[in-house]
Amino acid sequence: MRWEELTSDEFAEAVVECGRVCVIALGVMERHGPHMPLGTDMINGHYICTEAAKREPAVVFPPWFLGQIYEAKCFPGTVTIPPTMLVELLLGIFDEIGRNGFTKIIAYVAHGGNNHLVPFLAQAQLAAPKTYQLYVFRYSSAMTDKQRARWREVLETDGGGHAGESETSIMMAHRPELVKMDAVGERTGRRQGRMDHLRGGLNALRWYADFPEHWAGDARPASPEKGKALVDIQVECLAEYIRAVKEDEVAGQLAEEFFRREAELRGPTGG
């Protein structure tokens, strides 16, 4: 069920019918090589969420494109906002989802750069009691060994980390008109390794040092058929996770225990 397509009355019914679970795909607006649309992460992420919600009912939040993407500010079309504003905005969005009656929110990490941001947002939920629990989902870590084997069997390359064979195939599977394969030619997003002398650490320019064209991998073997197979694996993984979240009773109990102990530690206040 797509949040933005429901009437107000339908929405109130949907919240209950789906077990008060909402899924939000956290994408961005950034360059995806010379052949993919700026909204690739948002488009693919939201599509996977809506397909998974067909298998295991949940309300899917409208397409979202504000995330951690400062490393792409030097390319046309990128959309960023100040770091503190970004954190406050996303925390506010989660609270607003909770205010609308959802007690469980699944944040689907649809963009690699959000791997640094979203876990912090999850930990920030312990700053104060909430009416909901936040669950972070990444299909790459959620796949079973069998699903991972199926994923590898589909691809001719390692998939590429950004606008490569896997991501291009996924877009070709459901929005082929947005993929400009003629722009690829014989080029690939080869890793440059310009900061390899600083192994073991992290610098904000690491991604740019490796991929100055904001393109990682070889898109040439991509195809709609591969994309459909990859989408099916991702949708299957997410649907299974939505089901597990619905059944989870532990997180809420642990939150009550945690904040009770915190209150006891603070002791009585006031006169």
Domain membership flag for residue 105: yes
Domain membership flag for residue 94: yes
Domain membership flag for residue 126: yes
User: Tokens at residue 145, please?
Assistant: 């060994």
Domain membership flag for residue 10: yes
Domain membership flag for residue 91: yes
Domain membership flag for residue 271: no
Residue-level pLDDT at 271: 42
Residue-level pLDDT at 269: 65
Domain membership flag for residue 13: yes
Residue-level pLDDT at 270: 47
Residue-level pLDDT at 200: 86
Residue-level pLDDT at 187: 86
Residue 26 sits in a domain whose CATH number is 3.40.50.10310
Domain membership flag for residue 140: yes
Residue-level pLDDT at 266: 83
Structural domain count, the chain: 1
pLDDT tens-place values along the chain, 271 residues long: 999 999 999 999 999 999 999 999 999 999 999 999 999 999 999 999 999 999 999 999 999 999 999 999 999 999 999 999 999 999 999 999 999 999 999 999 999 999 999 999 999 999 999 999 999 999 988 999 999 999 999 999 999 989 999 999 999 999 999 999 999 999 899 999 999 999 888 899 999 999 999 999 999 999 999 999 999 999 999 999 999 999 999 999 999 999 999 999 988 764 4
Question: Domain residues for 200?
Answer: 3-266
